[in-house]
A and B are shown apart, each in its own frame.
Chain A
């Protein structure tokens, strides 16, 4: 078996790092101290084990969710000279940039497992002291490892940003100052959460964590890559895998359990967010225009070219893929509804729940479809405009994109504050109408979305034609 050289190198360096050794020793000492002090201070009661494990979990989360990511961040940050320099190890080997990122992530995961293993003896003590069942311990571990994974991925993504070192450090400190507090609170609370969480919600959490990690990994690869063609495979794989994952989640709407926790509109919002996020990520990873390397890799003619072309050419055609994905997502629910109704009619009736309340009519599907496409089209046009202007640097574009994306996701929640039903928060299509105070009818939605879609299509028409006719420059 060929071990990724980056994983080996990172493991070597991490195990030698004094921070990690000291953290492990400190962690064992704290565990021992807690295992002794908790029963002594509070006496052996029905929930002694629970309290002990909650504290242990909080410390574990602090160690693997804060100290480990900090170490990974500092290591990658020091390997990068400045805003434009790539990690030294990516300079000239036949290994792809994804190997660098994966090496760092895998080695951090290995240490995370080491930290988790170190808590096992204390977890056994907590179990024997009663008050905490085995499944709660297992779910708490899963929660902690998910949080740690997200933290490590965030650390790698921030360290990869094409910003000056000082800016990266400030950004990292801001993110992880909040995380340190959240880690402790979540660590203690995870035990209570793990005892009550339904299985479907657990699935949602794991999927969300996984999608977050995949996004962060794709961003890191995009930012570290010296040239465009090396970004393709990793990001394409991420895109496809994420669509698959959220497809699995969408399928779970067929059952009643998720609907109690999360309405269909929220589900669509999450899926559309994921799709737009990946489109933005992939598009940002492409240079404006067409890479000769990419075009030369395409089959000259035939059936395969039809499928490979949109995945392989420039950002404009990548955008077409996002549109195809959006179509598939938009049509998924109406397409499966009859099948689900007939297959699970008895189940749905028994649970007393109706199938997703929106998007069940063709009109609403069309409205959603057009809003979604207009969002994609306008985003793409803006991206092209920004990328072509020399005033907007590669540092500015992704930063602005992330900032705008954050605002777009936050505005509905702010508007919803004044709305007791929180309708704007869960129904993103309604936001323009809430803002203008206009009573929102389906007909208004339809007109508004159609106009937005038309504008988006017009401003993108010329680049689309160019994209279809693009040929490699000799």
Chain B
């Protein structure tokens, strides 16, 4: 599996949110996206996840354009947004079951798949709680289960560590590695550079919609914070 982003550009009126962005992502890789607010991370992810259309450029999954075949793309991509709604009268299990139905799972096959994914993401003990009753970390687990229920080849995570306590952050990092070990490609954006340092096999540093640099290799040996400050012209006070 290969995800290719080619010369992506997105304009909102006179504002250029993403400008000539190109990169590739292969199976088993965890690619981080770092950048200040407004650098185009979420817009890029929305376009890849077929939630938005680019002004120009293309996104290909194994050579097939997500713009031309959005239905096929949605089956290949699991999208985990940075929030989960607190619905008062729907349980975590019903929520995941709903998405399994939406992806066409039926009967025993659906029940088996929902149980599997609840086991994998650690949702099983909290499956009967309503979404409103869950903590932020638990909600992220449910969100991950939702994104993985149809067994996608690519997982996109938009600010997954946002607002998590230290324990939940450690859990999230473990899950991201676990997903990549299954041969899935993971694209993750975060403001917490330490998280990206720990889990990513590569990192895109973006600013004002442009890709400043793609950092390759094991990020554990790189001081990502210094590189980030240097590339985005930030200064430590």
Residues of A within 8 A of B (CB): 2, 5, 8-9, 12-13, 16-17, 78-79, 81, 88-89, 91-95, 226-229, 287, 291-293, 296-297, 390, 473-474
Tell me the complex Cα distance, A8–B94, Å.
10
Contact of A293 among B14, B56, B68, B75 (CB under 8 A): B68
Nearest to B156 among chain A residues (CB) is: A92
Is A8 within 8 A of B67, CB to CB?
no
Tell me the complex Cα distance, A9–B87, Å.
12
Is B102 within 8 A of A227, CB to CB?
no
Is A13 within 8 A of B98, CB to CB?
no
Inter-chain contacts of B81 with A (CB < 8 A): 91
B contacts with A, residue count (CB < 8 A) = 36
Contact of A296 among B67, B78, B90 (CB under 8 A): B67
Contact of A13 among B14, B90, B101, B147 (CB under 8 A): B90
Inter-chain contacts of B56 with A (CB < 8 A): 473-474
Is B13 within 8 A of A227, CB to CB?
no
Nearest to B66 among chain A residues (CB) is: A293
* Smallest CB separation, A252 vs chain B (Å): 41
CB 8 Å contact bits of B1-35 with A (1 = contact, 0 = none): 00000000000011000000000000000000000
Tell me the complex Cα distance, A390–B67, Å.
25
10 example contacts (A-B, Cβ-Cβ < 8 A) are as follows A8-B101, A13-B90, A17-B89, A81-B85, A93-B74, A94-B104, A292-B67, A293-B68, A296-B65, A474-B58
Apart from the given pairs A94-B103, A227-B52, 16 other A-B contacts in the complex at a CB distance below 8 Å: A2-B106, A5-B98, A5-B101, A12-B94, A13-B87, A81-B83, A88-B84, A91-B51, A91-B79, A92-B77, A93-B102, A95-B102, A228-B53, A287-B53, A292-B53, A390-B14
Tell me the complex Cα distance, A88–B81, Å.
10
B49 at the interface (CB under 8 A from A): yes
* Smallest CB separation, A223 vs chain B (Å): 15
Nearest to A297 among chain B residues (CB) is: B68
Inter-chain contacts of B83 with A (CB < 8 A): 81
CB 8 Å contact bits of B38-79 with A (1 = contact, 0 = none): 000000000001111101101000000101101100110111
B99 at the interface (CB under 8 A from A): yes
Inter-chain contacts of A227 with B (CB < 8 A): 50-53
* Smallest CB separation, B149 vs chain A (Å): 10
* Smallest CB separation, B114 vs chain A (Å): 13
Tell me the complex Cα distance, A16–B147, Å.
26
Tell me the complex Cα distance, A88–B87, Å.
10
Inter-chain contacts of A5 with B (CB < 8 A): 98, 101-102
Tell me the complex Cα distance, A16–B87, Å.
13
Is A94 within 8 A of B53, CB to CB?
no
Tell me the complex Cα distance, A228–B55, Å.
13
Secondary structure type dominating chain B contacts: loop
Is B71 within 8 A of A94, CB to CB?
yes
* Smallest CB separation, A276 vs chain B (Å): 28
Most buried by A among B14, B53, B71, B84: B53
Question: Given that A296-B67, A296-B68, A390-B13 are contacting pairs, would A94 and B74 also be in contact in the complex, using a CB cutoff of 8 Å?
Answer: yes
Nearest to B147 among chain A residues (CB) is: A92
Inter-chain contacts of A390 with B (CB < 8 A): 13-14
Residues 78-126 (chain B) with a chain A CB within 8 angstroms: 78-79, 81, 83-85, 87, 89-90, 94, 98-99, 101-104, 106
* Smallest CB separation, A331 vs chain B (Å): 38
Contact of B90 among A9, A92, A95, A226 (CB under 8 A): A9
* Smallest CB separation, A270 vs chain B (Å): 36
* Smallest CB separation, B194 vs chain A (Å): 28
Inter-chain contacts of B55 with A (CB < 8 A): 473
Question: Given that A91-B79, A293-B67 are contacting pairs, would A12 and B49 also be in contact in the complex, using a CB cutoff of 8 Å?
Answer: no
Inter-chain contacts of A13 with B (CB < 8 A): 87, 89-90
Question: Given that A12-B90, A293-B70 are contacting pairs, would A92 and B79 also be in contact in the complex, using a CB cutoff of 8 Å?
Answer: yes
Is B74 within 8 A of A92, CB to CB?
yes
What 9 A-B pairs come out closest when comparing CB atoms?
A: A5-B101, A93-B102, A390-B13, A92-B79, A296-B68, A88-B85, A226-B51, A16-B89, A5-B102
Inter-chain contacts of A79 with B (CB < 8 A): 85, 87
Inter-chain contacts of B51 with A (CB < 8 A): 91-92, 226-227
Nearest to B80 among chain A residues (CB) is: A92
Tell me the complex Cα distance, A78–B87, Å.
8
Tell me the complex Cα distance, A62–B159, Å.
45
* Smallest CB separation, B103 vs chain A (Å): 6
CB 8 Å contact bits of B172-186 with A (1 = contact, 0 = none): 000000000000000
Inter-chain contacts of A291 with B (CB < 8 A): 53
Inter-chain contacts of A296 with B (CB < 8 A): 65, 67-68
